[in-house]
Structure 1
Amino acid sequence: MALRVAIVGAGGAVGSTLLMHMLKSSVLNPGDEIILLGRGTPESNGRLYATRMDLLDAFDEAAVRLTICASIEHLCTDIVVIAAGQTISKNRRTRRDLAHANLPLFERLAERFRKSAGCPLFLVVSNPVELAVAIFAAHLGPEKVIGIGAQQDSLRFARAIASQLGVHRSLVRASVLGEHGEAMVPMWSSVHLTVDDPESTSRLDALKARYERTNIKEEAAMTRKRLEELISTHQLAEAYELMEEIAPSTRIMVEPFITQSQIHSTPNATANATLEILSAAVVADGRRVHGQVQLSGQFHDIHGVCGIPLEVRLNGWLVSSQSQPTSAEIAELRASAGAIDAATKEWQR
């Protein structure tokens, strides 16, 4: 049976990039369908039709159907990717700013999907991802809603570690849980190599011994101050070089600050993280991914929205059994969940 994937916000930077990543990947088979949805305005519809034609010219050999849907109410799909809404800009610099800008959209979309037919899996890209997950889970059921922020942070953590070890990221497994923001929790207990290489393992052990007790918030504050100086004088190469000198667990918190000072979003990294979760759902082989979900005690008695390790299928998510955090990490995760809960409640007042 053909798989159907709908992208809400397909004409935006992340949505259109995800389309390209999907068509270049092996996730979809000939006859599968990607459904493009926009804002419904003439400008948005025009962009979708033009994007569709450009993608057909580039990837027609994939034999994946590309269709445009005018209304959520007419949608029939297995997976929905929510990539609509505002992003960080000069006028929206904080998560609070994004929350105020996107809250009405999240509520409107969730209500419209609640009234539509079917029960697809929802992958939430839009930010603040925790707010979107809370709203969509309340309307559509928590087991069908996953935010992709934790997967993106986990991939960044793995890359930061791989860079210092001198290996490729494909050889490193690492998890970042909690919030997709300042209350994120890099899980050093999760870090391991996928190859039996004594030399690389020894370097990883040394890296853990050096960095796993780093005061991340303190180092991040000091590093960000230095980054602001470098960025203000257009020393971007030096700013990125500085990232090699700090703990990988700190790097993932501050490196996006450099990138967003220049391009405001990270469409390729975001699309890649989304595609990894989508692929896990389609293949359903029990691989570990990460996502923000609405919890009711399933993971170390944490309640509320929190990033956790997951196994994903088209019918929903399960807590991954491949994670064994330390007691200190569990305490940090509970604190992160508390911070998320306080923020989402404040934003919805």
Structure 2
Amino acid sequence: MNIAVIGATGLTGHQVVVQLILKGLVGPMDRLQLIGRPSAEARLRGLVADVRDAFFEAAPELDITLSADEIAAEVIVFAAGVTIPTDHRRPLTRDALAEANRPLFEQYAEAIARNGHGHELVIMVSNPVELGVAVFARHLGRERVFGMGAYQDTLRFRREIAGELGLARQRVEAYMLGEHGSGLVPAWSALRLHGFDQEETAQLRRRLRKGLCSADYPHALEAETGAVRELIVNDDLAGAFNRVATMSADLRVGLAPFATHYSGAKTAVATANATVDMLRVVLSGHQTVMAAQVALQGEWLGLDTVLGVPVQVGHQGWRQVSPLALDEDELSRLRQVGEEVSVKLREWERAA
């Protein structure tokens, strides 16, 4: 197996490299291509030395690449580009993030399309993840490109539910759909708790939601984001985390990473873990349903945009959407978020 990590010297890219080895997705018979800018060559060489020192018997063949034209892999993890600063005094809007990272998305997508073998799978980690997926899908074919935002949000959602109920996460089936960021859509009506019947699940669902309905969720998320941001601006990180802890599980999914990022710790370990886990699912050889940002062309709800939805995946990419039986408020919100993402993508492309 040949895997390439674009942006290997960044916090998340570095973690992806380490976790690929620790979790056994690559070994001595495999090749791991570490890709960065020429200015990062020294750091890449240092990373190779460190990884070999830590995992000498288990390490794959490690290859340093400084040019997008020399990428050669079956699976490509894209974790390069500008990220949101952890200093709240230097805010970076999503529009600014798109403006900064779009040329990088285009550069690598064009190079892989030009030089690749035509079967590469790409997992997009960098933000805005929807823009990254849109660009790579345009160049490589949409079935070969996944955004990991919805997968990570879904893992967080399941973890929050499992933790509150005292269950193993494997007993929770739940999805967080929509946009990775302010456009989250919790699919509460699709919640399944293994070992509980429908009536018991309904009771626990009401307890978990703490009176918050689907129609009110986006407004609550916006209001709580403002409240948590104000605590952070006032250097009350403990207060921010304490406030998040009192929220419903779906709000914690959106706000806990926000507080973690601005604490200075960032979310690199969790993001890398979700990325590697997603890669494991894709490469398992089994047809599996997972949440991911993909480029839709009307497969569900007539949506023609990039959105986090449940898709059936295999080692050749995703083949179809697996629609969930959602209630009308959730479906309405998903359509709305899809329309909003479409507008953003058009604006970002026009600004190019």
Q: Settle same-fold status: TM greater than 0.5.
A: yes
**Take 1:310 and 1:94, find their aligned partners in 2: how far apart are those partners?**
29
CA contact (8 A) 2:133 2:294 kept: yes
Give 3-state SS (helix, strand or coil) of 2:330's partner.
Answer: helix
Q: Which residue of 2 aligns with 1:84?
A: 80
Give 3-state SS (helix, strand or coil) of 1:296's partner.
Answer: coil
**Take 1:29 and 1:211, find their aligned partners in 2: how far apart are those partners?**
48
Q: Post-superposition shift, 1:323? A: 3.1
CA contact (8 A) 2:52 2:59 kept: no
Q: Post-superposition shift, 1:212? A: 5.6
Q: Post-superposition shift, 1:75? A: 2.7
Residue identity (%): 35
| RMSD value, Cα | 2.3
**Take 2:92 and 2:72, find their aligned partners in 1: how far apart are those partners?**
36
Q: Compare 168-177 and 139-148 and name the one that shifted more.
A: 168-177
CA contact (8 A) 2:237 2:263 kept: no
Q: Which residue of 2 aligns with 1:250?
A: 251
Q: Compare 185-194 and 14-23 and name the one that shifted more.
A: 185-194
Give 3-state SS (helix, strand or coil) of 1:303's partner.
Answer: coil
How does 1:90-239 map onto structure 2 within 5 Å?
90=87, 91-119=90-118, 120-195=120-195, 201=201, 204-207=204-207, 210-211=210-211, 213=213, 215-239=216-240
Q: Post-superposition shift, 1:305? A: 0.8
Q: Is it true that 1:68 corresponds to 2:64 in the alignment?
A: yes
Q: Post-superposition shift, 1:175? A: 0.8
**What TM-score do the two structures reach when normalised by structure 1?**
0.91
**What TM-score do the two structures reach when normalised by structure 2?**
0.90
Q: Which residue of 2 aligns with 1:263?
A: 264
- Counterpart pick for 1:21 among 5, 19, 23: 19
Q: Post-superposition shift, 1:74? A: 2.8
How does 1:320-331 map onto structure 2 within 5 Å?
320-321=321-322, 323-331=324-332
Q: Is it true that 1:57 corresponds to 2:56 in the alignment?
A: no
- Counterpart pick for 1:46 among 33, 42, 46: 42
Q: Which residue of 1 aligns with 2:7?
A: 9
State the Cα deviation string for residues 177-221 of structure 1 (Å, max 9, x = none).
111121121111232223459998476244256446151233223
Q: Compare 180-189 and 197-206 and name the one that shifted more.
A: 197-206
**Take 1:295 and 1:110, find their aligned partners in 2: how far apart are those partners?**
19
Amino acid at match of 1:21: Q
**Take 1:287 and 1:5, find their aligned partners in 2: how far apart are those partners?**
21
Amino acid at match of 1:116: N
Give 3-state SS (helix, strand or coil) of 2:295's partner.
Answer: strand
**Take 1:33 and 1:4, find their aligned partners in 2: how far apart are those partners?**
5
Q: Which residue of 2 aligns with 1:340?
A: 341
Aligned residues: 345
Give 3-state SS (helix, strand or coil) of 1:77's partner.
Answer: coil
- Counterpart pick for 2:34 among 29, 36, 40: 36
**Take 1:257 and 1:135, find their aligned partners in 2: how far apart are those partners?**
26
> Residues 229 and 74 of structure 1: is their aligned pair in 2 closer, same or farther, counting only changes over 3 Å?
closer
**Take 1:323 and 1:80, find their aligned partners in 2: how far apart are those partners?**
29
Amino acid at match of 1:118: H
Give 3-state SS (helix, strand or coil) of 2:176's partner.
Answer: strand
> Residues 325 and 26 of structure 1: is their aligned pair in 2 closer, same or farther, counting only changes over 3 Å?
farther
Q: Compare 276-285 and 218-227 and name the one that shifted more.
A: 218-227
Q: Compare 291-300 and 188-197 and name the one that shifted more.
A: 188-197
Gaps of 5+ in 1: none
Amino acid at match of 1:134: A
Q: Post-superposition shift, 1:83? A: 0.6
> Residues 163 and 253 of structure 1: is their aligned pair in 2 closer, same or farther, counting only changes over 3 Å?
same
Amino acid at match of 1:83: A
Q: Is it true that 1:285 corresponds to 2:283 in the alignment?
A: no
Q: Which residue of 2 aligns with 1:302?
A: 303
CA contact (8 A) 1:34 1:65 kept: yes
CA contact (8 A) 1:308 1:319 kept: no
CA contact (8 A) 2:185 2:330 kept: yes
> Residues 181 and 107 of structure 1: is their aligned pair in 2 closer, same or farther, counting only changes over 3 Å?
same
**Take 1:309 and 1:40, find their aligned partners in 2: how far apart are those partners?**
38
> Residues 221 and 77 of structure 1: is their aligned pair in 2 closer, same or farther, counting only changes over 3 Å?
closer
**Take 2:76 and 2:146, find their aligned partners in 1: how far apart are those partners?**
11
Gaps of 5+ in 2: none
How does 1:314-325 map onto structure 2 within 5 Å?
314-321=315-322, 323-325=324-326
> Residues 246 and 124 of structure 1: is their aligned pair in 2 closer, same or farther, counting only changes over 3 Å?
same
Amino acid at match of 1:256: P
